[in-house]
Each structure stands twice: as C-alpha cells, then as structure tokens.
Amino acid sequence: MLLTLQCETDMAAVVSNSSTTELYMDTTKATQDLCINDVVLSSPQCYTEEALMQSSADNSTTNTRKNSENPIVTEITSAAAMLHPAEGNLSTSDMKLWTTRRDNAVELRMEDSGVASLPPVTIHQLFQDTVKKYGDYVALASKQGDQWHKMTYEQYYEQCRIAAKGFLKLGLERYHGVGILGFNSAEWFIADVGAIFAGGFAVGIYTTNSAEACHYVAQNCEANIIVVENQKQLQKILQIQDQLPHLKAIIQYKDELKEKRPNLYTWKEFMQLGKDIPDSQLDQIISSQKPNQCCTLIYTSGTTGQPKGVMLSHDNITWTAASAGKTVRLREATDMQEIVVSYLPLSHIAAQMIDIWLTMKHGGATYFAQPDALKGSLANTLREVRPTAFMGVPRVWEKMQEKMKAVGAKSSTIKRKVATWAKGVGLETNLKKMNGSTPHPMKYHVAKKLVFKKVRKALGLDRCTKCYTGAAPITKDTLEFFLSLNIPVYELYGMSESSGPHTISLPDAFRITSCGKVISGCKTKIHQPDNDGSGEILFWGRHVFMGYLNMEDKTQESLDEEGWLHSGDIGKHDENGFLYITGRIKELIITAGGENIPPVPIEDALKEQVPIISNAMVIGDKKKFLSMLLTLKCNVNADTGEPEDELTPEAIEFCRQIGSKATLVSDIVGGKDTAVYAAIQDGVNSVNQKATSNAQKVQKWLILDQDFSIAGGELGPTMKLKRPVVAKMYKDQIDSFYQDAVTPTENIPPPK
C-alpha cells in the first residue's frame, strides 16, 4: 500500500477546520491600452430604437404544463423585442449601459456575430427550455439520513412556480427583495428562482453576517420577505425586523419553529399559501419580465467598506451561463450529465453561477453537501457523489493539501519514496503537457495506475474532469502539489460585477499561476500598461453588471464612459494571451519613498518558504520600510470557526524537522521557540534575496497570538483577507514596527 492510498480512510477530515469561503478609464490614446478579444468585435452597440419598439407579442410565458411541446424560441420572434426600456418615462433611445434604479432596464452589449449575438432570454425562458429538454433528469439531490431525495427538472420548475405564488400571496412587490439566509439546499434554490418568477429580486445573505449586516442588506434591497434556514438565522432577523419597514413575512425552511409569531411561516406552510393565486396571474408577471431588467442582487462582501448591491439582469445570468458553459465545454445531460456538489456560500456569485445557472443551462445535477461540509463532512460527500466538476476556494484546496501531507508524514520510508517518485513524474509530465507536449512516458502510466487513480478515488474526484479554484489568490505551491498528483486545478477569474467568470483556464490552455483566457464573447483590456505590460484589468461583455443599487457614484467609478468595467485588479497578458493577476490597486503599497509594491507575491513567497505560516500580511503604505504580520497554522474549532491554540499536524511536522518540540501556537509566539523564529527569518531572508529593490525587502515581522478567521473578522466569507480590518485590529503592533527612526537590519537574535 502506498502512502497516498491511506487517503481513502483519512480524507473524512480532509477539509476539517476550514472555513467558508471575493475603477476610471480616461480618453487617452488607444495605444495606452492593450486589448485582447475573444472574437472580432465591432464597436459596442445595441439594437436600434425601432427594433426595441417592435411588438413583443410572441413573448408569452405560459405554463410549461400547458405548452411543454412549444420550444423556447416561440417566445422570441427577435432578440430586440425582448428588451424593455424601463418602467418610468425613460425612452428606449435614452437607455444606457448602466443604471442604479431598481426598476430600470439597460442597453445590452450585443454584437453582430458570435456568442455575443445570442438572443437574450429571461430566467424563466432558460428554465422552460431546460424542462423541455431535460424534464425527467435529476436536477437537485438532498440527503436526508442515509437516503438521497432527488427532484427532476419538471418537479423543480413546478416547485418554483408554487413558491412564486406563495411570495405573491405574502405581498411581494415588483423589484423588491427576497432575502435568503441559510446553507445551500433545494429550498434555497426554489426561493431564489421563485422570487425571480414573482417579479422580485433574489438576494442571498451570508450566513456569517451579523444581525447588523443582515439589516443593511435587507434595508438596501427593500426586502418584503426573508427566508431563513433555522433558529440561529431567524434570531438575527427577529432582532432587526422592527427596523425593516418593507418586511412583510419570514419563512424558515429547516427545523420546527420554536415559537409562533405573526407572519412567520414554516416552509411547508409557505408552500401552501399560493394555492388560490391563479396561474394566469403569475404568468402575466413572468411575461412582463425582460432580459435587460434586474432579477438578482449580489452583495459584495464589504472587504474594503459597506457592501454594494450588484444588480444582475436576466441576460447577465442566462448569457453568462451559455458563454461559460461553451468555454469549459460542459456536456449536455443527454450526452452525459454533469454533477456538482453545492457547498460554497450561495450568496457569492461563483456558487450561484455554477450550482444554479450553469447546471440548469446544461441539465446538470446539483447535490447538496451537509451544513458541516467545511468542518469535515465535505470529503465524505465528494466520495459518495463523485462529481464531474468541482469548485474549491483556495483554502479548501490548501486544507486538502495539508491533510494529505499529514497522512504522508506518518507513512513508512518506502511509501514516502514511492509517493515522492510518482509526484515527480506527475509534475514533470503535466508541466510538459501544459507547454504543448502530449506524449506520456511509461513511468507516467505506472504512476497513474499505482498512485494517481487511487488518490483521485480517495478524494472522490475519480470522474472529475474539471477542478476549479477562484474567489481568492491560490499559491503556486498548492497548484503544483495537485498537478503532481495528476489533478490539474484550473483557475477562474472574475467578480460579482461580471456575473462570475471572466477568464478561465482549460485542460488544453492553462499555465501555472495564470487565471486563463477570456470566456467566449467577452474582451479584456489592460489599461495604461507600464513597461512590463502591467495595468488595471478592464472587462467588456454581456456579463458586465447593470450597476450598484442606489449607488451612482460607485457605479460611475466602476464603469467608465465607454462601458468598460474597471476591476481594480492589476495584471498583464503573456505572449500567448494568458492573464496573470499581480495584485489589487487598493492593496498596492506605496512606500514613503514612492515605490509601488504589490503585497501578495511577497506574502505567497514567504508562505511557500515556511509552511508553518498560515496567513501573512505585508505592511508598509507610506512607511520607510516593509514589515509583516504572520499567523501560524492551527486547528479550528468545528462549532465556532475560531482558531485554537493547537498547531495543525503539518505545522507540528515542520517543527520536528527544524528541531522544535512545539505543539501549540503559545509555545512559539513571543520568541519562545528560537528554532521556529530562526526558520521564519531564514525564509524572510530568502524572499528578500529575490526582491527587485531594497524597498521590497521585509525588515520586521511579528507572529500574532492567533490565526485569522471569518469568526474573528479578519477574513471575508470566501477567505479573502480584510486588510483594513487587520490593520485596525493590530494597529498597536504595527505602530511598534516603526517607533525607531532607523531602518532595522536584523530582526531576531540567532537561535541558541
């Protein structure tokens, strides 16, 4: 038995202790911008006013039960007829590419040919088409006890209609929100789609939000109804309901209600409410919906300030699902059904696009993980479901890596040697494949049979052809670790404002640390590139959002006069068109000497050098030199999500290798363990040696008493570092770095 084969019994906790997991173009010369197009594109334009005013009589949305034989195309005589000017006095000729009003429509970024010319459709039309093609296929699967309860697309559609009528019965008004606060489930999906069918906005709320944060979202979207998972989430809403003048009802979809209150319903009660709402009333609302109107709000995680309500239109969602599906070559269910596991927060666009919309577009099946997925049960679900596509934020992949290394460290010498050999073969072969070489040597086939297949099976990824990561930066070390095991992890890049994906890596087109190439029908531009070709990354395409709800200034910051979306990220293309992200403009450190320094490459380099480090944050804005806050890898409380004092097995193994007996964070911090401090300083020295200037060298560092976490507030829902929050929390420690006027040359005394 090889060491990696032990993963099959040890991977139950493979992601244990992980946590859930996220502008200004001037009118200078075109030569200041570098543009890479996926297709030949004409200048941005939409349909003429005459076309927009064309009759939309064929846009009838009757019940699928009555007209299931009619293809979706009968609903659209022309794409232009589907576009809606707005509810107010705005004429079609006045439509812009953006809006901040909930009842406005926008001009679509249509093109004359290619994917960008696809006819725009609404969510309902997409769903009807799916029911027509894949009505009897499994759509959703939920585990209750030991049994999977499955729902077909026909049943799923009917449940969404019932929910929509229930929302109408409760008084849901047009363009008002339905907040959804809970872990991923069939009810979450049905509430989301039902809200859209009923003419409201589907609004996901992070389960990690405080009552105050929930209030901000609910108030901003003028929520009429809030759907909660359980008593824990219900209590947050009960604390703030008196401060929500638009709120009419609360629905709890899991567990029994502990107390009866007016306008508080169980899911079962809610699904009975709409019985006396005629189908014709719902159909009339559905038929009035247009692709260029808002249907969903995605609230940014608020890493740098108050969350912004990203308005996504029907077309944003349906077109992106079509384009991204085409780009990654998702299979239609009639050929081979794609299967995904839903566990990432559905309030995040990545999870919504993959779990709800991409699967719906292609007739895929979504299996729901258990609520404790990120506390250890995800590995069991993966082995049971065996998905064909899997999306993991970097921290999920890192936790898998840590657990597998911990298992390997306990194996015999011969097992470790065999595993090391196989990983070397895997990395060498896949790197050659990445660079265009296709032959697989005999040793690769031996390694695949002995190791790779068994590792994939142990992880539950034996039939997964699409392993993705996104939402935050991932280290080269983690990517190469999985590549060495013949598990390429492809990077996605995008944002809520681009309806999810903008660039994607593919099996035949990927590079380590690159986030791939632009999806079909979209464009990328590097704004005002420097001598190295780096500049702000700009997006163009039908996936670009409508605007921020009620935030005109913020919208105009993000969308320039020509309609390009300014990402706030810095990046560049290589000679083959692969995009590389080097940092964020808001994260860019400008030293007292005026040098611009992106912190992430320095942080990642140190974490790779010193694997006991969990999080690193470079300090130095307007300072004379760079310093760094560090945390150590430790176990996380499965119930609270808070970091504990005990080091992870990988961290303990690292300590043993350098001669330290530490098993706790408290054994190390404050200079107690000189061996660990010396190892970290060696890592800092190694990183500094590769710095391109003295200004980019880290001069001081400090190990904090505990790791960053979502519970502690230092990390966002997708494990993104909240730099302003950390800077405020540890202001005293940061200030201590700069109390001496002289720039330090040495950080610690040599080890004893």
> Is 612 within a domain?
yes
d(CA 550, CA 540): 22
User: Residue 420 has which token pair?
Assistant: 């090391």
Q: Please report, for residues 136, 160, 234, 658, the alpha-carbon distance to residue 155 in angstroms, rounded to integers and kept in the order given.
A: 9, 9, 28, 59
Torsion sign over Cα 184, 189, 192, 195: negative
How far apart are the two ends of the chain, measured CA to CA in Å? 41
> Domain end: 306, 340, 365, which one?
365
Share of the chain above pLDDT 90, in %: 65
The predicted-structure confidence for 244-256, as pLDDT tens digits, reads as follows 999 999 999 999 9
DSSP letter for 357, please: I
**In this predicted structure, what is the pLDDT of residue 588?**
82
What is the structure's pLDDT at 502? 97
Residue 258 has pLDDT above 70, yes or no: yes
* Count of structural domains, the chain: 2
What DSSP element (H or E) covers 152?
strand 147-152
User: How is residue 588 written in tokens?
Assistant: 């860019």
User: Quick one: tokens of 553?
Assistant: 């200034």
Model confidence at 303, in pLDDT bands (50, 70, 90)? low
Query: Is residue 531 assigned to a domain?
Result: no
pLDDT computed for residue 621 by the predictor? 87
Collapsed DSSP state (helix, strand, coil) of residue 595: coil
- Burial class from Cβ neighbours inside 10 Å (0-12, 13-18, 19+) for residue 68 reads middle
pLDDT of residue 405: 84
**Domain end: 365, 397, 431, which one?**
365
For the chain, give the mean pLDDT.
85
Report yes or no: 560 and 527 within 8 Å, Cβ to Cβ.
no
Residue 657 scores a pLDDT above 70 = yes
Lowest-confidence region among 4-18, 422-436, 503-517, 689-703: 4-18
Beta carbons within 8 Å of 326's beta carbon, 6+ residues apart? 115, 520
| 3-class secondary-structure state, position 310 | strand
Question: 336 lies in a domain?
Answer: yes
DSSP string covering 75-121: G-S-TGGG---BSSS--GGG--S----TTBB------SSSGGGSPP-
The confidence score (pLDDT) of residue 36 equals 45
Residue of 451 and 44 predicted with greater confidence: 451
How far is the C-alpha of 67 from the C-alpha of 565, rounded, in Å? 40
Distance CA 260, CA 491 (A): 47
CATH of the domain at 150: 3.40.50.980
Is residue 378 a part of any domain in this protein? no
Instruction: Band the pLDDT of 302: cuts 50, 70, 90.
Output: low
Please write the tens of the pLDDT for every residue from 563-619. Answer: 999 999 999 999 999 999 988 888 888 888 888 888 988 998 999 899 999 999 999
**Measured between alpha carbons, how far is 282 from 172 in angstroms, rounded to an integer?**
12
Residue 77 has pLDDT above 60, yes or no: no
Residue 526, exposed/middle/buried by CB under 10 A (0-12, 13-18, 19+)? buried
Q: What is the pLDDT of residue 76?
A: 40
Of 166 and 724, the one with more pLDDT: 166
* Burial track 138-147 (b if 16+ CB lie within 10 A, e otherwise): bbbbbeeeee
Q: How far is CA 553 from CA 98, 230, 557, in A?
A: 12, 37, 6
Half-sphere exposure at residue 34, Cβ-oriented, CA atoms within 13 angstroms? 18
Which two three-digit tokens encode residue 283?
């159909």
Span 9-19, average pLDDT: 35
**Which pLDDT tens digit goes with each residue over 193-239?**
999 999 999 999 999 889 999 999 999 999 999 999 999 999 999 99
CB burial readout 659-684, b (16+ within 10 A) else e: ebebeebebbbeeebbbbbbbbbebb
**pLDDT for 61:** 42
pLDDT given for residue 39 in this prediction: 32
DSSP per-residue codes, 372-402: TGGGTTHHHHHHHH--SEEE--HHHHHHHHH
408 falls within a domain: no
Of 365, 396, 428, the last residue of a domain is 365
Using an 8 Å Cβ cutoff, are 712 and 730 in contact?
Answer: no
Q: Is residue 433 part of a domain?
A: no
Distance CA 617, CA 597 (A): 13
In angstroms, the CA 430 to CA 440 distance is 9
Which amino acid is residue 308, in one-letter code? K
- Supply the pLDDT for residue 592: 83
Q: What is the mean pLDDT of residues 147-164?
A: 98
Closest CA to 188 of 223, 256, 140: 140
Query: What single DSSP character describes residue 356?
Result: I
Q: What is the 3-state secondary structure (H, E, C) of 192-255?
A: HHHHHHCCCEEEECCCCCCHHHHHHHHHHCCCCEEEECCHHHHHHHHHHHHHCCCCCEEEECCC
**Side chain identity at residue 321, one-letter code:** A
Closest Cα partner for 285 from 198, 346, 207?
Answer: 198
Q: Kindly tell me if the per-residue pLDDT of 125 is higher than 70.
A: yes
Tell me: pLDDT of 298 over 50: yes
**Where residue 62 falls among pLDDT bands split at 50, 70, 90?**
very low
- Res 326: pLDDT: 95
**Residue 83, pLDDT score:** 65
Position 472 pLDDT exceeds 50: yes
Is pLDDT above 80 for 319?
A: yes
User: What are 102's two structure tokens?
Assistant: 């909930």
Looking at residue 692, its pLDDT comes to 80
What pTM value is reported for the model?
0.81
Give the Cα separation of 506 and 327 in Å (integer).
8
The DSSP result for 668-698, as a single string, is TGGGT-HHHHHHHHHHHHHHHHT-SSGGGSE
Q: Is residue 392 part of a domain?
A: no
pLDDT per position as a tens digit, 97-113 = 999 999 999 999 999 99
Which H helix or E strand runs over 558? helix 552-558
Cβ(582)–Cβ(534) under 8 Å? yes
- Determine the residue type at 683: G
Which range has highest mean pLDDT (228-242, 302-316, 467-481)?
228-242
pLDDT digits (tens, 9 = 90+) for 332-375: 999 999 999 999 999 999 999 999 999 999 999 999 999 988 88
List, for residues 439-471, the tens digit of each pLDDT value: 778 998 999 888 899 999 999 999 999 999 988
pLDDT exceeds 50 at position 37: no
Over residues 616-630, the pLDDT tens digits come to 999 998 888 999 999
What's the mean pLDDT in 378-385? Answer: 95
Q: What is the mean pLDDT of residues 12-19?
A: 36
Q: What's the pLDDT at 20? A: 33
The beta strand positions in 300-383, using DSSP E, are 309-313, 339-342, 365-368
Residue 626: strand, helix, or coil? strand
DSSP 8-state symbol, 258: S
Q: CA 94 to CA 598: how far, in whole Å?
A: 41
Asked if the structure places residue 304 within a domain, the reply is: yes
Beta bridge partners of 104: 86
| Tens digit of each residue's pLDDT (9 = 90 or more) over 659-705 | 999 999 999 998 889 999 999 999 999 999 998 888 899 999 999 99
| CATH assignment at residue 732 | 3.30.300.30
Q: What is the pLDDT of residue 85?
A: 56
Q: What's the domain range around 705?
A: 589-737
Q: Would you say residue 535 has pLDDT above 70?
A: yes
Residue 112, φ and ψ in degrees, nearest 5? -80, -20
Predicted local distance difference test score (pLDDT) of residue 74: 37
pLDDT (0 to 100) of residue 410? 75
DSSP-based three-state secondary structure for 569: strand
CB 601 within 8 A of CB 582: yes
Number of H helices, E strands in the chain: 25, 29
